[in-house]
Amino acid sequence: MANKTIKIEILRYRPEQEDKPSPQLFEVPYSPDLTILEALQYIKDHLDSTISFRWSCRMAICGSCGLMVDGVPKLGCKTFLRDYFPNKIKLEALANFPIERDLVVVMDDFINKLEEIKPYIIPEDNTKCLSDGPHQQTPEKLAKYKQYSMCINCGLCYAACPQYALDTKFTGPAALALLARYNRDSRDAGSKQRMKIVNQEEGVWGCTFVGYCSVVCPKGVDPAAAIQLLKVESSKDYLIGMFKPD
Amino acid sequence: MNNNNEKKYIRSHEPVFWGLFGAGGTLTAFMTPVMILITGILVPIGLFGEGKFNYQQIHQFATSWYGAAIILILVALPLWHTFHRIFHGLHDLGVKQGRDWQQVICYGSAFAVTIFVLTLLLQMIAA
Ligand code: SF4
Ligand code: FES
């Protein structure tokens, strides 16, 4: 096991010194329990301190370390060198997002979309008073949306989505899954407002059910399923809208 | 309708085409292979039907109301499915020009053939 190493090629982009991204090769000590994120930290500490990448929790919960590993969207902290060794690993910034610097991308469009779908519980008008006690939920009511509430906003699904790649107007997987999470919550009364977003061409109808978003999602959210369920809701809404235009 | 200074949302008509696409897809997946197997292979080589699939029999079926309805559905829905897929496939391939015309040609073709088959069947029933 003595002194094994693994080659890591990183697509670098330093806007102040180059017009377009170019690859740089590093060689780091290999051990089967090292993650891609730890390899990047090794590079930053020992080989090249100028390399830029995002991370925080190191345990697949903050969603900041997304990147392309050999062309596949992955979390750096949840991906192990052992699954690639002895081959060279190619790292690039998340696809479909503008590169800010090296492996850091501009997330603004994604964040705006998450905000646009009103990701909070919209209570009914005759809101319960605090003194009336909590809104109780049965396990069944919880099960209706729990899976869609597990998203960590890593953006891997947007990097995977060919429709988002073609047209960034598409609301996209994570935002639509989050929308489903609130629409399916028994305490929420905001479905009507959110269905307007769903019903658009850029809403669920921008999706052609490729399903790659659900494959790459590190939290098992299955955004593709959320979108297909919303398509059914949108179709019902369409029928109702034919007889009862608002 | 307009919540003041809120973004204007435009409803897509996709549910109509998606509904036809879905129904057609189910038929294409489950029925079309069976139909091809029976009418295209098993009957011609004489392994199935034993003379029951002759012209008279089929004509009788096609000129009954339920037979005509079944034939119309079996031809039309998979067609809507196919053209919907082609329309979206063109977008996936990055053919950006003339999306309106692509739409007219795709769904227009599905519509035209549907009407053609319908008229044909009605004529046969009337004859
Ligand atoms: S749905 Fe999954 S892949 Fe998409 S942002 Fe959320 S956790 Fe990441
Ligand atoms: S560092 Fe937080 S998800 Fe990877």
CATH homologous superfamily, domain A108-243:
Alpha-helical ferredoxin (1.10.1060.10)
| Sheet bearing A72-75, strands edge to edge | A22-29, A5-12, A89-92, A66-69, A72-75
pLDDT value of position B2? 47
pLDDT digits (tens, 9 = 90+) for A142-200: 999 999 999 999 999 999 999 999 999 999 999 999 999 999 999 999 999 999 999 99
pLDDT digits (tens, 9 = 90+) for A71-110: 999 999 999 999 999 999 999 999 999 999 999 999 999 9
**Which atom in ligand 2 lies closest to the alpha carbon of residue A55?**
1
Q: What stretch(es) of chain A map to CATH 3.10.20.30?
A: 5-105
Of B1, B10, B91, the CB nearest to A200: B10
Residues of A in contact with B23 (CB under 8 A): none
Rounded to the nearest angstrom, the minimum Cα separation between B26 and chain A is 15
Specify whether the CB–CB gap between A51 and A34 falls below 8 A.
Answer: no
Pocket of ligand 1 (CB under 6 A): A 151-157, 173-174, 177, 216-219, 221, 223
pLDDT value of position B5? 60
pLDDT value of position A243? 86
Q: Is A12 left (phi over 0), alpha (psi -120 to 50) or beta?
A: beta
In angstroms, the CA A52 to CA A54 distance is 7
State whether B12 and A203 contact (CB < 8 Å).
yes
What is this structure's pTM?
Answer: 0.89
Determine if ligand 2 sits within 6 Å of the CB of residue A64.
Answer: yes
Could you tell me the CA-to-CA distances from A62 to A160, A211, B109 in Å, in that order?
19, 24, 50
Find, among A124, A18, A100, the residue nearest to A52 by Cα. Answer: A100
Q: What stretch(es) of chain A map to CATH 1.10.1060.10?
A: 108-243
- A5-105 CATH pick, 3.40.50.150, 1.10.1660.10, 1.10.3720.10, 3.10.20.30: 3.10.20.30
Residues of A in contact with B19 (CB under 8 A): 235
Report the 10 Å Cβ neighbour count for A177.
Answer: 29
pLDDT value of position A2? 62
Q: One digit per residue, pLDDT tens: chain B, 127 residues? A: 445 566 789 999 999 999 999 999 999 999 989 988 988 898 888 888 777 778 888 899 999 999 999 999 999 999 999 999 999 999 999 888 888 999 999 999 999 999 999 999 999 998 8
A126 has pLDDT over 80: no
State whether B11 and A241 contact (CB < 8 Å).
yes
Size of interface A-B (CB pairs under 8 A): 37
